[in-house]
Amino acid sequence: MAMVQPISAASGAATDRVLAALVAGLEREFGRDAGEALAHRFLDAEEAEFLWEARDQERWIGSYEGADSGADVELDRVRIVGRLAGCWYVAMMIVDGDGNLHGMLGKRSFGYRLAAMAAFADA
């Protein structure tokens, strides 16, 4: 038996503030039913940006020496932990010195905060 629950209802109240803001804005613009469906599509299409905005903590790991990092921009690897859509995650992001996101190197999902915090600490 499958159980379906809207992502806004499955989310923790305060911990999913980014998702709540997304769903609320889409519901205002397109209606309740469309807002929920569009939120899923936005999360899929712009995952790195939503993870970056929903982060609870971050840790600088080191500089990023990517192939196309650009001569004028120095990029860093930053590990983040947070919760989005009811799921805890740890991700490695590429950011510039101003905190602007340039990409995501990887992400792991966790069902519990304790497991995510352990992975975050294991940098």
pLDDT in tens, 1-49: 333 333 334 444 444 777 788 888 888 888 887 877 788 788 888 899 9
Distance CA 3, CA 71 (A): 50
How many residues appear in the chain? Answer: 123
**Residue 78: enclosing H or E segment and its boundaries?**
strand 75-84
**pLDDT tens digits, one per residue of 82-101:** 998 889 999 999 999 999 99
Q: Phi first, then psi: what are they for 102, rounded to 5°? A: -120, -10
Query: For residue 43, which amino acid is it?
Result: L
pLDDT of residue 123: 66
By the 8 A CB rule, do 90 and 110 touch? yes
By the 8 A CB rule, do 54 and 82 touch? yes
